[in-house]
Amino acid sequence: MSKQRIRLFVTGKVQGVFFRQTLKVMAKKNDVFGWVKNLEDGRVESVLEGDEDKVNRLVEWAHRGPANARVEDIDILNEKFTNEFSTFDVLY
C-alpha cells in the first residue's frame, strides 16, 4: 500500500461546526495520522499521513465536512511522506 501526505486548507463555514473534532474521529477510524487546526483567517489547516486510499477518503470527507459546515473551497497540497506522526491531534 502506497503512503501519502496531504496538507489541506479548507475555506468556508468550517470553524465552530466541529470540523476539527470530526476530522480527528474520522482520522482515527481510518488509521490516518497528523493534525488539524483553525487558522486566524477562518480556514482550517490539516496535515494527513497514511495509506493513500485512507487519506483520500478523508480528503473526500473534507469537501463536505460535518453537518453544519459549508465548505466553499479546499486547497490540497501533496507533500513528501515523512511518517513523523503516531497520533492525530487537534492543535490550538
- Which residues are part of the catalytic machinery? 20, 38
Tell me how far apart the alpha carbons of residues 85 and 53 are, in angstroms, rounded to a whole number: 18
E strands within the chain?
Answer: 3-13, 33-38, 44-51, 70-79, 88-91
* Contact yes or no for 12/25 (Cβ under 8 A): no
